[in-house]
Amino acid sequence: MNAVEIEGVSQRYGSMTVLHDLTLSLGEGEVLGLFGHNGAGKTTVMKLILGLLKVSAGQVHVLGCRPAQADVRRQLGYLPENVTFYPQLSGRETLRYFARLKGAALTQVDDLLEQVGLTSAADRRVKTYSKGMRQRLGLAQAVLGEPRLLLLDEPTVGLDPIATRDLYLLIDRLRQQGASIILCSHVLAGVEAHINRAAILANGCLQAIGSLSRLREDADLPARIRASGLCRREQWLQRWNAAGHTATAVGGNGIEVMAVNGHKVDLLRQLFHEDQPQDIEILQPSLEDLYGYYMSRATTDTEGTQP
């Protein structure tokens, strides 16, 4: 059984369509990264899974049931974007309140506060918390009651690098325990290692979905080879540009060349045979490159369809 099954869903607000015929599934124990520009429909997808919105067309199944059932919600954790709490309650009171509402054991509360590093601030009012602390409290709230499905909307916003690393460690741990996770973000750096699959949304349409290697293959983006300390840089530049590769000079004696799939090994062999590079870096297309590629394709598509 899939944790989330979205089939042919369209969502309209009045005359505005925010999701077009979306089909998406999330397996048990899988982490799906959901990426897209502001207003692409990420939060709408979350709300559909949470049962806060009724679909205009299509079907949504969560943990094998319809969303919004109490049984489903008990097994579900959600961290909203820009999470806020009752300012007059302390961190510990807040977590205890939400634990009672969820029917989770109150003994978890202190453990969770420790896990997100809020033990020392637990008895201060939430009013005095910084944005990052609120975000961490929100995360602790989402993990209450060991959810089987976790929805995180922009979880890293406002977190410092250490807290971000801790967040990803927590995600990895939850995944090992068998939780399914949807991670919604437009901060792409650092996410790659922690997701199984990525889905890219633009203007309410799913542009691409699959593992990162799958997406790389489909996008067919060039890897960049960067070599430094070359003796004959100018000759390389001329030769490669003439051969149709895009090569540019970098640094003192360096060169960067775009290696379209299939040419990478060739180019490297040439470099090693005919020169003595001091250092070589191979940069695979990153998630950011993929994202940029699918985004620009989405804009050209919509421009193409509109006369």
Q: Output 80 or 190, the one with its CB closest to another protein.
A: 80
Question: Contacts for 157-160 with beta carbons within 8 Å, 24 or more apart?
Answer: 157/81, 157/82, 157/187, 158/130, 158/131, 158/132, 158/134, 159/132, 159/135, 160/132
Whole-angstrom distance, CA of residue 205 vs CA of residue 192: 22
CB closer to another protein out of 62 and 202: 62
**Which residues does residue 61 pair with via DSSP β-bridges, in sequence order?**
5
> What's the closest the beta carbon of residue 60 comes to another protein, in angstroms?
15
| Structure-token pair, residue 46 | 């979350």
Coil/strand/helix, residue 307:
coil
CB 232 within 8 A of CB 243: no
Give 94 or 203: the residue with its C-beta nearer to another protein. 94
> CB-wise, 36 or 138, nearer to another protein?
138
As a whole number of angstroms, the distance between CA 249 and CA 115 comes to 47
Residues that bind another protein (CB under 8 A): 47, 50, 52-53, 70-71, 73-74, 76, 78, 80, 82-88, 97-98, 100-103, 141
Place of tokens 């067919």: 220
Question: Which two three-digit tokens encode residue 12?
Answer: 């309209």
CB of 104 to another protein, least distance (A): 10
Q: How near is the Cβ of 108 to another protein at its closest, in Å?
A: 15
Give the residue with the Cβ less far from another protein, 80 or 229. Answer: 80
| Minimum distance, C-beta of residue 142 to another protein, in the bound complex (Å) | 9
Phi then psi for residue 51, to 5 deg, are 80, 15
**H helices, E strands: number in the chain:** 10, 13
* CB-CB neighbours of 54 under 10 Å: 10
Q: With respect to another protein, which residue has the nearer C-beta, 83 or 287?
A: 83
CB of residue 219 to another protein, shortest distance in Å: 35
The distance of closest approach from Cβ of residue 239 to another protein in the complex, given in angstroms and rounded to an integer, is: 60
Question: In this structure, how many other beta carbons lie within 10 angstroms of the beta carbon of residue 7?
Answer: 14
Q: Rank residues 137 and 191 by Cβ distance to another protein and give the closer one.
A: 137
Q: How far is the CB of 62 from another protein (least distance, A)?
A: 12
Rounded to whole angstroms, the Cα distance separating 290 from 43 reads 21
**Residue number, 39 or 87, with CB nearest to another protein:** 87
CB of 73 to another protein, least distance (A): 4
Amino acid at 119: T
